[in-house]
Amino acid sequence: MTRPPHTQPADDALPPAKHHAHPPAIILVKPQLGQNIGMVARAMLNCGVTDLRIVAPRDGWPQETAYSTAAGADVVLDNATIHETTADAVKGLTYVAASTARMRGMTKPVVSPAGAAAEIIARNTGDVTTCGLLFGAERTGLENEDIVLSDAILNIPLNPHFTSLNIAQAVLLVCYQWHSYSGAMPDWRLETNEGDIAPRDKINYLVDRLEEELVRANFFKNPDMQPSVMQNLRNTFIRMNLTDQEARTMHGVISALIERR
């Protein structure tokens, strides 16, 4: 599940390239507060998810309070579609996961955000939206009649002693998981604004030169220790991942210390 730190994945372990991944629809069933709809839109657009479907919003549509909390994600709100029923909102979809913390006496698969994201990445590969995520009203959540229309229950694993999660935070977690699976960035890379990482021979040369200077300075009181001390020093320098420029700086540091001596 987790990739070991400090390793780049093999090409075939990478998630599918971004242009094959089509985002899911986010379906809000009977949302109560316009400000929550706005924060949902913001979280969606953060993750490149734009298909918002709203079933029977309590306070009608459009709502000014939604725009005020969307932090600029107006495009999502402008293109939101309004539906009378959940059945109408899921038309055309072939996979629907319904977010709920409570199990409902129904036999259904239960997926985490990662599980839902993997399903959506695997299924929603074409140009049309075939996957959707259902979220219920803030206070009451989804009704069983909504959940039965879904393929799976989406359960966000949280601290069992503190599960209070705003609807926009729930949408953010699931959309982010989809977005990160869709090839957003590797889990680890080395940023080198200054230039290239120094090749191993330059590091070896640096350590060889350091050893030479240390011998001249009688650093090795006991010559038997020299190989193991130098192995440790070489290991340290290689772990530093020096750039070419940083390696040159290290040469300068050695030269300066010699001069001073």
* Min dist. Cβ of residue 97 to a copy of itself (A): 11
**Is 194 among the residues that bind a copy of itself (CB under 8 A)?**
yes
Q: Does 199 bind a copy of itself (CB under 8 A)?
A: no
User: What tokens were used for 121?
Assistant: 């990445």
Q: Smallest distance, Å, CB 204 to a copy of itself?
A: 19
Structure token digits, residue 40: 């949902």
For helices 167-181 and 113-123, angle between their N-to-C axes, nearest 10 degrees: 50
159 binds a copy of itself (CB under 8 A): yes
Q: Between residues 159 and 218, which has the closer beta carbon with respect to a copy of itself?
A: 159
Q: Six-digit token pair at 34?
A: 């316009």
Q: Using the rule CB under 8 A, is 65 a contact of a copy of itself? A: no
Measured CA distances, 249 to 243, 244, 255 (Å): 10, 9, 10
Give whole-number Cα distances, 110 to 23, 99, 113, 187, 241, in Å.
20, 10, 10, 26, 43
Give the interface segment with a copy of itself, choosing from 177-185, 218-226, 229-237, 253-261 (CB under 8 A): 177-185
Structure token pair of residue 229: 């001390």
If one asks whether residue 114 binds a copy of itself (CB under 8 A), the answer comes out as: yes
Regarding 35 and contact with a copy of itself (CB under 8 A), the answer is: no
**By CB under 8 A, is residue 110 in contact with a copy of itself?**
yes
Residue 185 is a binding residue for a copy of itself (CB under 8 A):
yes
Which of 83, 104, 209, 248 is the binder for a copy of itself (CB under 8 A)?
A: 104
First to last CA, the chain: 53
Residues 178 and 184: their CA atoms lie apart, in Å, by 10
C-alpha span between 146 and 202 (Å, rounded): 64
Residues near a copy of itself (CB under 8 A): 1-6, 9, 13-15, 42-43, 45-48, 71-73, 103-115, 117-119, 121-122, 153, 155-159, 162-165, 169, 172-173, 176, 179-181, 184-194, 241-243, 246
